[in-house]
Amino acid sequence: MTVRQIYWETKQILRAGGIEDDAEEARLLLCHFLNMTSADIYLSQGEQTGEAGKQVLLAAKKRQAHYPLQYLLGKWPFMGLDFSVGEGVLIPRDDTEVLVSTLCEGLLDQSSPKGLDLCAGSGAVALGICSIHPDAVIEAVELYPEAFSYLTRNCQAYPDYAVTPVQGDITDTAFCSGFQDAHYGFIASNPPYVSQQEMRTLQPEIGHEPSTALLANDDGLFFYGKITELWTAKLARRGMLAVEIGETQARAVCALFQNAGLSEIIVHRDLSGNDRCVTGVAP
């Protein structure tokens, strides 16, 4: 089949699956599997695609069943960086830019700030911080082996940024004790925060992402409780804790911050006007 035939057939497959932006996703699949630019696709005069064309159609069939486009492409952009992604790691999302940009605003007057990224996943938060504040020094903590492999790969892709992958369980008291108290200028986290009830209402694509990166007990608040209980002692004087939240969790998370002795607690909203991030400052 020719490039144009593959493009139109891919669009039809995606449209049949209810994929809203079928034209854009078809373009992305062709660019990836045929190793072409958008201009190459649109200017094609009948070039045959061979085996690569079959790969496009197979990928389109998977996408038709709402398998994540990001996993099919193997990479996804966030904060101007490209992140390797695949099964076993959470896909970076634009909403998380609120967490990154808000935290970086608090680091403007710090030189080479040291920080932690807890539940780091792909490393999007830690590396995103470094894309704005390139002299930051960050330990990125992730428990699960599949996600940790992507974290390691993404950190290696940006060697100019001082992000060190650390494998461990942030809810484990013994593991936490290995980090120095009053040492870090900031702690960032985009932890699992989806409740059991909310999991049943999410888009089908999200069902392919690791539940360990999404689901949390106690109405989605479990990890916020552990972070404020175990990790706030690691903040240096005037150090900032910043966490991404679900849009209904601001009040409960603010209460946890207050109980942990943090001050200047602020809820930050995303571009849609939803509560998206909470920050607090250590005494």
Model confidence pLDDT, tens digit, residues 54-99: 999 999 999 999 999 999 999 999 999 999 999 999 999 999 999 9
Whether residue 198 is contained in a domain is answered as: yes
Q: Half-sphere exposure of 64 toward its Cβ, with a 13 Å CA cutoff?
A: 15
- For range 148-169, the mean pLDDT: 98
The gap between the terminal CA atoms of the chain, to the nearest Å, is 66
Give pTM, 2 decimals: 0.94
103-131 pLDDT, tens digit each: 999 987 788 999 999 999 999 999 999 99
Q: What is the mean pLDDT of the chain?
A: 96
In the predicted model, is pLDDT for residue 227 greater than 90? yes
DSSP element (H, E) containing 184: strand 184-189
Residues 183 and 61 in one domain: no
Whether residue 73 is contained in a domain is answered as: no
* The predicted structure's pLDDT at residue 45: 65
Residues 86 and 124 in one domain: yes
Whether residue 108 is contained in a domain is answered as: yes
Q: What total of structural domains would you count in the chain?
A: 2
Neighbours of 50 (CB within 10 A): 10
Residues 116 and 238 in one domain: yes
Whether residue 175 is contained in a domain is answered as: yes
- Which CATH number covers residue 264? 3.40.50.150
Residue span of the structural domain in which 52 resides = 3-65
In the predicted model, is pLDDT for residue 228 greater than 80? yes
> Which of 20, 44, 65 corresponds to the end of one domain?
65
